[in-house]
Amino acid sequence: MAWNEPGNDKNKDPWTSGGGNRGEPQPPDLDEVLRKLQQKLQGLFGGGPSKGSNGNVEYISAKPPSVSRFGVGLIIAVLAIIYLLSGIYIVKPAERAVVFQFGRFVKEVGPGPHWLPVFIRSKEVVNVELIMDSTHSSRMLTSDENIIVVQLAVQYKVDNLPNYLFNVIDPTRSLKEATDSAIRQVVGQSTLDDVLTEQRSQIRDEIRKQIEETLAVYQSGLLITDVNLQPARPPEEVKEAFDDAIKAQEDEERLINLANAYRRRVIPTAEGQVQRILADARAYEAEVKLRANADIERFNQLLPEYQKAPEVTRERLYLDRMASILGRVSKIVVDSSNGQQVMYLPLDQLLKKQAALPEVQVTVEQPPTAAPASSQQNNEAAARVRERR
């Protein structure tokens, strides 16, 4: 039977202090707990509650409590600490930060811990060491009226942070437009062969130069670190013809390289031969001059003797010359003075055998100076010559 039915004991009400078993602990009164907590808070900030009674119910007066100085100081200190901690920020080594005061640029700070007043100043952190890529691909018309597809990769980073944030609305888009303009101008002034093979490095350098000049005019705060010109390719409609042209150019370069290698190999040999021929010519020149001088000197020494005895001198010169000539040739002497028949001699075999033998030259050296002969000696020599004749 329920506790609240007629006839039951009202003291058994479980929600009152008299209900339930008298020996068991009762739960705390919720109103009492809230009242005690409010009293402690009022005591902390000064002042106390004013109690009133209305029958069995106690109430707290609505009079506002007076706050103590200690409580106010504690609240201010806590709020100040929270405010100071919320303004601390750290900039990494590869980053730079820009500080704004009510949206206006104040300063640029480097890596390390920094502090700014919250709600008054703000910041924007940018990684200035990050290398970013921008790829461009478009069809261009060369100066010789050929269509070609040009691909260019630009690498850049932030160089001037205030200019990067304030001078240009979209720095990446400005870079793309500057790159497209530079490609059109440089490729439009170049021929197809220059873009494909010969002048690719010069074209890349010229494109980079024009991009940097344009960004400097914009003051975009970007720094170009590298420009890579991809191998240009023709449109798909004429790809086969372009491949043939490129192959012909490669063959031309290969033949030119072979010719240069041959030239580098032949020219030193030819120069060495030229030097040898010049050295031989100089030696021959010196030899001829020395022989001529010797002949002149010999003639000058022989002339007085010839003037004294012309016939004897002529005979002597004749014999010397014949001895010199006959000493260098092969000779076969046959004596037919007795009237006997000449026997057959194998002259061809004898000549071959003599040719196999080492050649022996017989030279008759004349003294540099001839002793002066007396007129009597000259006359006796002339008489002997006439007798021999």
pLDDT tens digits, one per residue of 97-114: 888 888 888 888 888 888
CA distance 282 to 226: 61
Other C-beta atoms lying within 10 Å of the C-beta of residue 66: 10
- Crossing angle for the helix pair 239-308 and 310-326, to the nearest 10 degrees: 140
Is the same domain home to 120 and 136?
no
Range of the domain at 305: 279-321
pLDDT of residue 127: 87
Whether 264 maps to a domain, the answer reads no
Q: Where does a domain end: 173, 199, 233?
A: 233
Contacts of 260 (CB under 8 A, 6+ apart): none
Whether 184 maps to a domain, the answer reads yes
Query: Which tokens is 252 given?
Result: 């031309």
Question: Nearest Cα to 364, choosing from 331, 305, 323, 330?
Answer: 323
Is the same domain home to 312 and 293?
yes
Are the C-beta atoms of residues 161 and 128 closer than 8 Å to each other? yes
Q: Where does a domain end: 127, 162, 190?
A: 127
- Give the count of domains, the chain: 3
Is the same domain home to 117 and 140?
no
CATH code assigned at 226: 3.30.479.30
Is the same domain home to 166 and 213?
yes
HSE value, Cβ hemisphere, 13 Å, CA-based, for 236:
0
The kind and range of the H/E element at 281 are: helix 239-308
Which residue in the block uniquely carries the two structure tokens 């703000």?
Answer: 122
Q: Where does a domain end: 203, 233, 263?
A: 233
Question: Nearest Cα to 177, choosing from 151, 211, 207, 130?
Answer: 211
50 has pLDDT over 80: no
Q: Could you report the per-residue pLDDT of 332-386, keeping only the tens digit for each?
A: 666 666 665 555 566 666 667 666 655 544 343 443 444 444 445 555 655 554 5
Is the same domain home to 171 and 220?
yes
